[in-house]
Amino acid sequence: DAGVTQSPTHLIKTRGQQVTLRCSPKSGHDTVSWYQQALGQGPQFIFQYYEEEERQRGNFPDRFSGHQFPNYSSELNVNALLLGDSALYLCASSLPGGSQGGELFFGEGSRLTVL
């Protein structure tokens, strides 16, 4: 049973560029959340996708956008990259939308460095 997979694992970009990160959820999960983890901090919620729509959003600017595909996989896009966007981006999947309780299952993350 494949867990949450993310790609790429590492990438380097320069300021002003755009980046796309990809995530495949754990088998049987249809809800995908994205988190940003800066160095020395806990993961911070970016947004969550369910049924191909953004269901919830954290306190992140519009430069951060996403998409969910019919097979439940998801992309995170960040435009006009800033140095402060350097972080580990974590994708997490969870049980079918609306289920009570339940934990998040995380991928290994995509390490983004902005120079």
Partner 1 sequence: DQQVKQNSPSLSVQEGRISILNCDYTNSMFDYFLWYKKYPAEGPTFLISISSIKDKNEDGRFTVFLNKSAKHLSLHIVPSQPGDSAVYFCAAREGNYGQNFVFGPGTRLSVLP
Which residues in this chain contact partner 1 in the complex, by CB under 8 A? 4, 31, 33, 35, 40-45, 48, 55-56, 58, 90, 92, 94, 98, 100-109
Cβ-based nearer residue to partner 1, 27 or 41: 41
Q: In angstroms, what is the C-alpha Rg of the chain?
A: 13
Q: What are phi and psi of 61, to 5 degrees?
A: -70, 170
Q: Write the CB contacts of 55 (distance below 8 Å, at least 6 apart in sequence).
A: 31, 47, 48, 49, 97
Which CB atom, from 16 or from 96, has the smaller least distance to partner 1?
A: 96
Q: Which two tokens stand for residue 20?
A: 């796309």
CB 62 to partner 1: min, Å: 18
Residues 6+ apart with CB under 8 A from 10: 110, 111, 113
Residue whose CB is less far from partner 1, 44 or 65: 44
| Residue closer to partner 1, measured from CB, 78 or 91 | 91
Closest contact distance (angstroms) between CB of 9 and partner 1 is 9
Instruction: Report the nearest approach of partner 1 to the CB of residue 115 (Å).
Output: 21
